Chains A and B, each alone.
Chain A
Amino acid sequence: MRKFFSNLYTSINKEPWSYIVTFGLMLIGSALVYMVPRSLMAFLVLMLAPAALYFLKMNNRIKLFAGLLLAVVILPVLGVRNIFYLEVIFQICVFAALALGLNIVIGLAGLLDLGYVAFYAVGAYTWAFFGSKQMSLLYSVPGAAPANAPFFLENPDWFWFFIFLGIGLAALAGILLGLPVLRLRGDYLAIVTLGFGEVIRVLALNLDKPINITNGPQGITPIQRPNLSPDLLNAIRLVLEPLVGHSVTDAQFYNVFFYFLALIIIIVAVVVARRLEDSRIGRAWTAIREDETAAIAMGIPLVRMKLMAFAAGASFAGAMGVIYAANRTFVSPETFSFLQSIGVLTMVILGGLGSIPGVIVGAAVVVFLNIQVLQTFSLYLSSLRQSDAVIPIINFAWKNLSTQLDPAKYQKLIFGVILVIMMIFRPEGLIPAERRKRELVGEKEE
């Protein structure tokens, strides 16, 4: 089995096959999605295209071109045709950015952080507070907000500034958390970060009194979005609408806009992570992860390096938090639960601890599983139940399936099983870090 795949891989990983396969996938995938926009298979075929782009050997210029084509033209067009795909990709971007940040903390510096979404919350609530009417509701009971309260910031373009502020505040939160606890090792750190994550969530939930800062469990809404220039939009419409096949509203433009924004953050995150990793700082992190005593004896200041890892990791989450708040126009404490932290951790490890492409793929897989594959699967089963379908051999009518066995209710169960199986068969992650790969190849090098 494994052999078959590796043979297949080697045989298509050379010209001209690599080009044919990649562009073929792009073309066929796009066409399929264009024609049957609700088919999961079609979308999966399309999603194979970026994978092929990443794995197959091709001229770098052409790779870049194909990547741009896919990200800037194909996905937005298809995404506007079926807004759901854009949402899937947006969420993948959001979580990929979070996973990249967490990967710095865990994968590079080896600090197990179980409360990572706290930093995401810091970013999100920063913009939620200033970009909403909350400032004028400080003294009103949550839920009883007067509808005519003004926005605090007249110009929503402050948003751009707040992306940076979010980065700064999240990094600061990282340092504040780090200062007292970095002396702790391993799981002690894990439990304290877990606690910190809970503290931030509990604060979000409870800081509606004595002064109403977060509006408590009600959450803050509405939150402003930055202005999009109407002239620009009209210009784009001219090209886009014929491609999409129907008129494009401003709201749909916002979806595209946030998709691009998230994409930019991802690109920045990848570049930052790559560059830090390949520098004195990255090496120091790895050294700390491997052996603290030896690292400190080499002159590496432990505390400063760890704080830096916390701050760098946190800042991605901060930026994404701001964008998330604007995208949803609503934040509430539910988004920042412990399970979210666990979810991001799962993405990192599933994808491949320490591996940048790995954690992105990890994010994609988990998001995909959660909001598409399992959902689609259970919808399919539930439509079977409503139909007259019968399982042939045992002659069992789907209709008679006990409602307790309703598959829609057992997504978490399936997800759990998938996690266990993945870990057993691919403990090094979907795309293992170079480091681990090298370890496996071992003697072949040099």
Chain B
Amino acid sequence: MSLLKTTDVIKRFGGLTAVNKMNFVLEEGQIASIIGPNGAGKTTFFNTLTGIYKPEEGAIEFNGHSLVGLRPDQVAERGIARTFQNIRLFGSMTVIENILVGMHTQLKQRGTDALFRTKAFHKEEAEAEAKARELMDYVGLKNVGNELARNLPYGGQRRIEIARALAANPTLILLDEPTAGMNPNETEEAIKLFRRIRDEKGITVLLIEHDMRVVMNISERISVMDYGEKIAEGTPAQIRSNQRVIEAYLGREAAAAQA
């Protein structure tokens, strides 16, 4: 059974069909990418998966259960974590607090525990903080735990977002242009990080990217969208040589550079 499977998903905005009959399958443990021209519907597809938008038609199955009609928090609870194209951190919370918020679904404490500061509460908080620090290390953030998230530079904020998503202990992580605004060196490190997330934590990774160095480098499978539809799918090598993809998306030079 595949981890995620969508059948004929349609999402419209007024007259515009942003996602059109998307059939998409993701196997557990894969690293896969979605690429496509600007405005192809990639982000909208993510939003439909995570419950921010309700699809007009179609089915979404995750782990064998339907996600259609669930609220975003319920989707998150079922094990899908995400980052956003335009970074959305809790700017005036510290880095650690951001990650702790990511752990929301993982913590067992209830209001009464918090009020009476039970042993279990203290234990859980201590563990959570330790885990948060671990995650900071994991994504390569050092000594910024008490810094306000908004005061970090762009690259650092991207890392917090990933750490926050990981904190939810997800089965699947959705990354929307995670390396945008990073320089080549930072991108290099990010690629390594995505690999480790899959290899060490066993989390399935699905990402949207425009940086072909990332996409071609780590994807086991690439799906290409254009005008809401999936126009191609395959391994990096297949996609690189797909004429339609070259024309609509890669451009001659880029294709040449990658070849």
* A contact residues vs B (CB 8 Å cutoff): 272, 275-276, 278-284, 286-287, 290-291, 293-302, 308, 435-436, 438-439, 442-443, 445-446
Q: Would you call A446 and B111 a contact (CB within 8 A)?
A: no
The yes or no answer to B71 lying at the interface (CB within 8 A) is: yes
8 A-B residue pairs with CB within 8 Å: A279-B121, A286-B90, A287-B93, A287-B101, A290-B90, A291-B90, A298-B102, A443-B151
Given A287-B101, A294-B89, 13 extra CB contacts under 8 A: A276-B115, A279-B113, A280-B107, A280-B109, A282-B114, A283-B93, A283-B101, A293-B52, A294-B84, A297-B73, A299-B77, A299-B105, A446-B144
Q: Would you call A272 and B115 a contact (CB within 8 A)?
A: yes
Q: Would you call A283 and B97 a contact (CB within 8 A)?
A: yes
Q: How far does the alpha carbon of A410 sit from the alpha carbon of B151 in the complex, in Å?
A: 45
Contacts of B91 in A (CB 8 A): 290
Top 10 closest A-B pairs, CB basis?
Answer: A299-B76, A279-B114, A299-B105, A290-B90, A294-B88, A296-B72, A287-B101, A301-B73, A280-B107, A299-B73
* B contact residues vs A (CB 8 Å cutoff): 50, 52, 71-73, 76-77, 81-82, 84, 88-94, 97, 100-102, 104-105, 107, 109, 111, 113-115, 117, 121, 125, 143-148, 151, 164, 168
B45, chain A: closest CB distance, angstroms: 15
Q: How far does the alpha carbon of A348 sit from the alpha carbon of B52 in the complex, in Å?
A: 34
Contacts of B105 in A (CB 8 A): 298-299
Q: How far does the alpha carbon of A243 sit from the alpha carbon of B225 in the complex, in Å?
A: 85
Q: How far does the alpha carbon of A155 sit from the alpha carbon of B164 in the complex, in Å?
A: 56
Q: Would you call B151 and A446 a contact (CB within 8 A)?
A: no
Q: How far does the alpha carbon of A298 sit from the alpha carbon of B166 in the complex, in Å?
A: 10
A440, chain B: closest CB distance, angstroms: 10
A83, chain B: closest CB distance, angstroms: 35
A289, chain B: closest CB distance, angstroms: 8
Q: In the complex, which residue of chain B has the Cβ closest to the Cβ of A280? A: B107
B51, chain A: closest CB distance, angstroms: 8
Select one of B50, B81, B111 contacting A281, CB under 8 A. B111
Contacts of A298 in B (CB 8 A): 73, 76, 81, 101-102, 104-105, 164, 168
B49, chain A: closest CB distance, angstroms: 11
Q: A275-B114, A286-B93, A442-B151 are in contact. Are A280 and B146 (CB under 8 A)?
A: no
Q: How far does the alpha carbon of A282 sit from the alpha carbon of B107 in the complex, in Å?
A: 13
Q: A279-B109, A281-B111, A294-B90 are in contact. Are A446 and B146 (CB under 8 A)?
A: yes
Q: Would you call A445 and B146 a contact (CB within 8 A)?
A: yes
Q: Would you call B93 and A438 a contact (CB within 8 A)?
A: no
Q: A287-B93, A438-B148, A445-B146 are in contact. Are A296 and B73 (CB under 8 A)?
A: yes
Q: How far does the alpha carbon of A221 sit from the alpha carbon of B93 in the complex, in Å?
A: 49
Contacts of A296 in B (CB 8 A): 71-73, 76
Select one of B115, B125, B148 contacting A439, CB under 8 A. B148
Q: A293-B88, A294-B89 are in contact. Are A299 and B104 (CB under 8 A)?
A: yes
A277, chain B: closest CB distance, angstroms: 9
Q: In the complex, which residue of chain B has the Cβ closest to the Cβ of A304? A: B73
Q: A294-B89, A297-B50 are in contact. Are A438 and B94 (CB under 8 A)?
A: yes
Q: Would you call A287 and B90 a contact (CB within 8 A)?
A: yes
Contacts of A280 in B (CB 8 A): 100, 104, 107, 109, 114
Contacts of A286 in B (CB 8 A): 90, 92-93, 97, 101
Contacts of A279 in B (CB 8 A): 109, 111, 113-114, 121, 125
Q: How far does the alpha carbon of A346 sit from the alpha carbon of B182 in the complex, in Å?
A: 44
Q: A293-B52, A296-B73, A299-B105 are in contact. Are A445 and B88 (CB under 8 A)?
A: no
Contacts of A297 in B (CB 8 A): 50, 52, 72-73, 76, 82, 84
A55, chain B: closest CB distance, angstroms: 22
Q: How far does the alpha carbon of A295 sit from the alpha carbon of B98 in the complex, in Å?
A: 10
Q: In the complex, which residue of chain B has the Cβ closest to the Cβ of A290? A: B90
- Most chain A Cβ neighbours within 10 Å, of B93, B104, B164: B104
- Most chain A Cβ neighbours within 10 Å, of B72, B77, B82: B72
Contacts of A442 in B (CB 8 A): 148, 151
Contacts of B102 in A (CB 8 A): 298
A170, chain B: closest CB distance, angstroms: 16
Q: How far does the alpha carbon of A297 sit from the alpha carbon of B113 in the complex, in Å?
A: 25
Q: How far does the alpha carbon of A297 sit from the alpha carbon of B89 in the complex, in Å?
A: 11
Contacts of B109 in A (CB 8 A): 279-280
Contacts of B92 in A (CB 8 A): 286, 290, 435-436, 439
